[in-house]
Amino acid sequence: MTRGNDLQSRFYTSFDGSALMSFVQKLVGLSEEERRGLDSFLGEGFHFQSFEYKAPSLPMAVNLAKSSFLRQGDVALSRWKKAMEIARTMEQVSLIPPMEIISGKNYLAVVMPKGDVLPRNRERKIDDLLRDTAKALSQVGLALDDYPQLREALGVPFIIDWSDLNFVT
Ligand SMILES: Nc1ncnc2c1ncn2[C@@H]1O[C@H](COP(=O)(O)OP(=O)(O)OP(=O)(O)O)[C@@H](O)[C@H]1O
Ligand SMILES: [Mg+2]
């Protein structure tokens, strides 16, 4: 089994939809400011706040969309979800981690493995994989309009920030 497949299978073995749903619901019940004080808070960007979910055999990151991301409205959000659905099922492409989206009327979360920062020297070696990933995405009409943020889990590098995934028009 390759390392990528190992990450994939560990992710799905550990993925418990209803436990994750109640984790997400607890977050949704708090304000963005209140969530920053949680022990599970990992960090945030412009569009997402990230929280650690300690699944049995693989720590996960639950990336909850902030109001700045939800504000773009239903049409843009369902386009983004459609784009994510295509990207996340391209399992053979390296740098795309196993991901699941949990969403409802007023919330949206992306669940993926929790990743560690890559050492600088390893980041440089990833240029080819970044190029392959961009090419694979473009072949299905997608582009990630952002400098890809990389992390790794079980020795497998992957992109964590998918907020700027778009259809190429
Ligand atoms: N899989 C992960 N493992 C560990 N930490 C993560 C993971 N995903 C997100 N994070 C943390 O959450 C932060 C925000 O995540 P992300 O970059 O996806 O949000 P964003 O709002 O789209 O960011 P930006 O404003 O740069 O577009 C990251 O910088 C990182 O600290
Ligand atoms: Mg982003």
Identify the pLDDT of residue 116.
Answer: 97
- Residue 71: exposure state from Cβ atoms within 10 A (0-12, 13-18, ≥19): exposed
Closest ligand 1 atom to Cα of 115: 3
Residue type, 69: F
Q: pLDDT in tens for each of the 169 residues of the chain?
A: 566 689 999 999 999 999 999 999 999 999 999 999 999 999 999 999 999 999 988 999 999 999 999 999 999 999 999 999 999 999 789 899 999 999 999 999 999 999 999 988 877 789 889 999 999 999 999 999 888 999 999 999 999 999 999 999 7
pLDDT at 3: 65
Task: For 3-167, give the CATH class.
Answer: mainly alpha
Q: Hey, whose CA ends up nearest to atom 11 of ligand 1?
A: 43
Confidence at residue 104, expressed as pLDDT on a 0 to 100 scale = 94
- pLDDT at residue 120 in the model: 81
DSSP helix/strand/coil, 46: coil
pLDDT at position 22: 97
Q: 40 near 52, Cβ under 8 Å?
A: yes
- pTM for this predicted structure: 0.95
Ligand located closest to 48 CA: 1
Provide the pLDDT for residue 1: 52
CA 52 – ligand 2 centroid, Å: 18
